[in-house]
Structure 1
Amino acid sequence: MSDKPAITSSELGVLWLTYQEKTMILRILEHFIEKADDEKAKDIMTNLYGEINNYVGRIKDTLQNEGAVIPVGFTDQDVNKDVPKLYDNGFDIMFVRLLKEISMALHSLNITMCYREDLVILFKELTAITQQYYNLCTQYLLEKGLLIKSPHVTMPKSIEFVKDNSYMGGLAINPFSEKRALNTVEVAQIHHAIESNVFGLEMITGFAQCANEKEVKVYFNEGVELAKGIVKELSEVFIQGGIPVPQTPGGNATRSTIAPFSDKLMMYCVSLFCSFSMGSGSIGTAFSLRNDIPAKMAIFMKDIFEYAHKGGKIMIKNGWMEEPPQMEERKQIIKK
């Protein structure tokens, strides 16, 4: 018997979610490593694979020691390594970089929901590894010229305070209202949103090309149009402010129509990205003081939520949505 305290419901929940995410990443890496044509990129992904595989084993051991069933997650059946490349031109490392960005946010949040010291340590270690590989991916993409930095700005020479409410001008309902120049906090959030959606556009384009189920293919095509709309709207904000619009020079879908991943895995990946996008949008809204920007973000988040909800229904219909561990059904127990 373990001398450690039993894990709580929240600890079980974050372990379960982490197992789902990490097994998905392992399957994606297996395809990318097999098809990598750049040795440095292959080394980054191979080393990351080893790190993640180790932590998947630790999570499995923890669940077994607690007497909990091991989730299915994503297995060898969800990846086909012996198919043509679905993406080219640095897309593999771009994909890994965004996955590590999502993981950083999840691991930091997971720490706050853990109490047992070994689990806090586990997520602290995962956070450190994720930060390490996020930086490796970023530096790789910069060296290869595949990542566009946000625009430069003249450094401030004095401290300024907001003098009146016109600073918040720019309501979408009044297109003739005065719009001040974007501040650097707003530029950072918009640049990040454009960059993420440009990448998401390429990712889901590839998914649409190779999806097996017609309903899934149609769903991914809808996602392509949604990402295009978001990129167009946010790019217009930059254009109006005379700010360069980021254009990712790398990462594109090939002509292949043979799926390296199962429809189940691709649907889960899109669901994960939608959740991340809504979270990022909420942060962008919270830190923007120009009223037209939160108004746009709110519409985007509503559209993304509805899109993700539709995807959830497709996953349930096809038996692809693994159910998280449930709390006791007290009313049913009492009835029995």
Structure 2
Amino acid sequence: MDSTHNSMKMTAAEISYLWTTYQSDTMSICVLKYFLQHLDDSDIKALVNHALDLSYQHVEIIKELFVHERIAVPQGFTDQDVNLKAERLFSDILYLKYIKNMAGGGLSGYSRMLPNIYRKDIKSFYSKALTSSMELENKATLILLEKGLATRPPFIPYPDKVEFIQKQSFFLEGLGRRGALTGTEVTHLHFNIETNQLGAALSTGFSQTAQNKQARNYFIRGKEIALKHTKVFRDYLEKHSLPAPAGIEPEVTESTEPVFSDKLMMFHFSVMIYAGIGNYGIAISESQRSDLVIDYSRLNAEILKYSEDGINILVANEWLEQPPLSIDRQNLSKK
């Protein structure tokens, strides 16, 4: 990034985005550094190294921006939050799927941030981050395909003629009356199965290695929720004779040696939950069956309650850094 900083003051959006990105990337550095201690496949190792390098770049750029603007640099996550000497907890396959998911999250997050950014240097930073995430996701996808590990969404017939919807029941009567799912509905079901399966695998590993009892029970509960949601989505696909991706829990070893701090794992789950809520929201907006919308909505409500319980654990253990806030005018008036 150009060392000449923009003279415009940062907005609430810009400060908050940078603060959140710093937290996420310092966490990623810890996670990816551990992955590299237990990687056999050279292609996946190169991919993880590339992802790690991107996170290091982001952290340094944000730190420079904050120092220049006299904004307190967050603590984030450090070497104290990871035990690089711990035994292998996950397989190379999980590492690869993790990177693909991580890059996909970057694509979604950065594209959502960019329209709210006006400062030239920060817009340039996130534009480059978006491009880097796209390249990382493409590389991860290519490796998955080359190794025969890709779980592509199911196939549907090619439309051979133009047709128009004749009845409103296409949208409203979702309780088995429409005999087919739209391609978009199939895509969201498949995607949300995959993300929940990754969540179930990570929660398995985290629950095996967590030292705090509250955190351990939280991860066990998270696995139960992920498997429950997976079953709901899988039933839709199977009911329409469509395949669903297989789980990846076998990619978790039996190790119980602590790897990451409970603080890092709880924060990691909060990031995953945040992404899951967004994924379900998009699925709701793009689904045209009432039963699907109802199921996504009730499952989202369950995730929101689970998220609240996680925040309470983070706060109770003083693991949650306070994000940038607006001025509390009411409190100032009292003073």
User: What is the TM-score when the length of structure 2 is the normalising length?
Assistant: 0.95
Deviations 1:46-91, CA, capped at 9 Å, x for gaps: 1221222112101100011001100011111111110111111411
Distance 1:89 1:63 in 2: 36
CA–CA distance in structure 1, aligned partners of residues 14 and 100 of structure 2: 26
Give 4+ residue runs of structure 1 displaced > 3 Å after superposition.
Answer: 169-172, 248-251
Q: Could you say what secondary structure the match of 1:34 adopts?
A: helix
1:112 aligns with 2:115: yes
Post-superposition shift, 1:3? 5.8
Counterpart-to-counterpart distance in 2, 1:254 and 1:94: 16
Match of 1:55 in 2: 58
CA distance in structure 1 between the aligned counterparts of 2:79 and 2:146, rounded to whole angstroms: 33
Instruction: Tell me the alpha carbon deviations over residues 113-169 of structure 1, each in whole angstroms, 9 at most, x when there is no partner.
Output: 211011000000000001100111111122222221111222111111111112125
Aligned equivalents of 2:6, 2:200: Cα separation in 1: 49
What pairs up with 1:254-333 in 2 under 5 angstroms? 254-333=253-332
In structure 2, the partner of 1:124 is: 127
| TM-score, normalised relative to structure 1 | 0.95
- Unaligned residue ranges in structure 1 (runs of 5+): none
How much has 1:101 moved relative to structure 2? 1.1
Distance in 2 of aligned mates of 1:158 and 1:135: 33
Q: Is the 8 A contact 1:167 1:180 kept in 2?
A: no
Q: Tell me the distance in 2 between the aligned counterparts of 1:329 and 1:40.
A: 51
Task: Find the residue that maps to 2:330 and give its secondary structure.
Answer: helix
CA distance 1:39–1:4, change in 2 (3 Å):
same
Is 1:12 the counterpart of 2:8 in the alignment?
no
Residue 167 in 1 paired to residue 166 in 2? no
State the distance in 1 between where 2:230 and 2:211 align: 27
Q: 1:77 is aligned with what amino acid?
A: Q
Provide the C-alpha distance between the structure 2 equivalents of 1:63 and 1:249, rounded to a whole number of angstroms.
Answer: 39
C-alpha distance in 2 between matches for 1:267 and 1:163: 49
Correspondences of 1:214-293 after superposition (within 5 Å) = 214-248=213-247, 252-293=251-292
Query: 1:6-25: per-residue Cα shift (whole Å, max 9, x none)?
Result: 21122111110110111111
Tell me which amino acid in the other structure corresponds to 1:131: M
SS of 1:90's equivalent in the other structure is helix
1:141 is aligned, of 141, 144, 159, to 144
Distance, in Å, in 2 between the alignment partners of 1:230 and 1:36 is: 31
Q: Would you say 1:180 and 2:175 are equivalent positions?
A: no
Question: Match for 1:83 among 62, 82, 86?
Answer: 86
Whether the 8 Å CA contact 2:25–2:59 is kept in 1: the answer is yes
CA distance in 1, matches of 2:68, 2:270: 30
Q: Kindly, what percent of the aligned residue pairs are identical? A: 29
Q: 2:45 corresponds to which residue?
A: 42
Residues 26-63 of structure 1 deviation map (CA, whole Å, 9 limit, x = unaligned): 11100001111111111111122122211210110001
Corresponding position of 2:100: 97
Give the counterpart letter for 1:192 in structure 2: F
**In structure 2, distance between residues paired with 1:34 and 1:273:** 24
Segments of 5+ residues of structure 2 without an aligned counterpart are none
Distance 1:67 1:168 in 2: 53
CA shift, 1:189, in A, is 0.7
Shift of residue 198, structure 1, vs aligned partner? 1.1
- For 1:193, the equivalent position in structure 2 comes to 192
Contact 2:200 2:227 in 1 (8 A): yes
Equivalent residues of 1:87, 1:251 under 8 A apart: no
Letter in 2 for 1:43: A
User: C-alpha separation between the residues in 2 aligned to 1:249 and 1:281?
Assistant: 21
3-state SS of 2:116 partner: coil
How far 1:305 moved relative to its partner? Answer: 0.7
Deviation at 1:303, TM superposition (A): 0.6
1:286 positional shift: 0.8
Q: 1:328, 1:307 → 2: CA distance?
A: 29
Following the alignment from structure 1 to structure 2, what is the Cα–Cα distance between the partners of residues 250 and 199?
8
Aligned counterparts, 1:198-213, within 5 A? 198-213=197-212
